[in-house]
A = this chain, B = another copy of it.
């Protein structure tokens, strides 16, 4: 049984100025006035983290990791205090807590720590006094009381972990888009905002390039059954609810990854390359196997450091783009994709299957058209139906 409590998370852009913090306060007050308890997680004001990193780099290109965490954690301390002040000014009782004060304990991995425990007693005490509780995102303390930070997407992680620990009925991630889309709307104009999306589809979408939610956040929410809602800070609307464990029938969404590099490597060297890849911390890579060769697809921006150590093992290299179809029927329809894309003169270099998804390796110049063709045919929106009808008449 969930508790009548909402966790709301606001990113750096949402708290980027005193005016925007006022706007955030209105979202918070709306939730509070609906009768729920409210816990708010905030990032540093946009630009602030960069300012602090810049100061640190002036001191040392590779600053001491413990002290970098002390420095960066000041960023959220500023935004949380300003939000709490704003709520107080508007007549609400609010209190802000650093990661340490909120008793968020992490491991000792400075700059990229993982939350190990949240003792909610301090937060619970404040909630019992009818206060709105603001918690600094992205930060915690380790076992000896040193400040730690969580790394990329850390504030989302703080929010969802708090929601889990507090048994919240919903964790709302406020961002600069109004929800999760069936595909990147900058590429596919007909992409539709989804009212709901299940965890396995969202997880695969995030894993395969959808930027709206960070992977660890989705993983935690799924594992702990915390309903997530993605909303816009700047526009009204119900956003997208991420909940449910069964993928919907058909194709739930398309994810796009541009600026990728396919490195073709002799099968004999795959284990060695895998080891180097791990040592260098190359993430979000993909192995595609065909009869003679293995193709390793990695992000362009981490390709150079990998090439420095495995250059002599690379047979061919080629820039590519990835299009992933996610959903229960994604794999079984694979042969149709090739046929459809052939009609538009697009060839698929490789296919790569996962549990509920299939990834098409494409030439970079063809990705946008391929995404539109497959979206039009497999994701049914009112616009795509209309367009299909028009095409029939024109034909």
Contacts and interface: CB of A to CB of B under 8 A. Distances in A.
A182 interface: no
Nearest to A56: B85
Contacts of A67: 81-82, 84-85, 88, 94, 96
A59 B66 CA distance: 32
Given A70-B84, A84-B70, A96-B70, A78 B64 contact: no
8 contacts: A21-B59, A22-B59, A52-B78, A56-B82, A70-B96, A71-B78, A74-B75, A74-B81
Contacts of A55: 18, 78, 82
Given A55-B18, A77-B77, A101-B145, A71 B82 contact: yes
Instruction: Please classify the interface of chain A as helix (H, G, I), strand (E, B), loop, or mixed, using the class held by over half of its residues.
Output: helix
A180 B95 CA distance: 43
A63 interface: yes
B96 A84 contact: no
A75 B74 CA distance: 8
A148 interface: no
Interface in A29-87: 52, 55-56, 58-60, 63-64, 66-68, 70-71, 73-75, 77-78, 80-82, 84-86
Nearest first, the 6 A-B pairs at minimum CB distance are A71-B81, A70-B81, A64-B88, A74-B74, A60-B89, A18-B58
Residue from A64, A81, A85 with most neighbouring chain B CB atoms (10 Å) = A81
Given A21-B59, A59-B21, A64-B88, A77 B81 contact: no
Given A18-B58, A22-B59, A70-B80, 4 more contacts: A59-B89, A63-B88, A64-B89, A70-B84
A74 B73 CA distance: 9
Contacts of A64: 84-85, 88-89
Contacts of A86: 59-60
Contact of A73 (B22, B63, B77): B77
Nearest to A84: B67
Interface in A123-144: none
B96 A82 contact: no
Nearest to A58: B18
A10 to B, nearest CB: 16
A376 to B, nearest CB: 48
Contacts of A88: 60, 63-64, 67
A341 B55 CA distance: 55
Contacts of A98: 70
A81 B63 CA distance: 10
Contacts of A122: 145
A66 B82 contact: no
A68 B85 contact: yes
Given A95-B66, A96-B67, A59 B73 contact: no
Contacts of A84: 64, 67, 70
A106 to B, nearest CB: 16
A80 B58 CA distance: 15
Interface string A356-382: 000000000000000000000000000
A85 B101 contact: no
A122 to B, nearest CB: 8
Nearest to A141: B101
A193 B192 CA distance: 76
Nearest to A63: B85
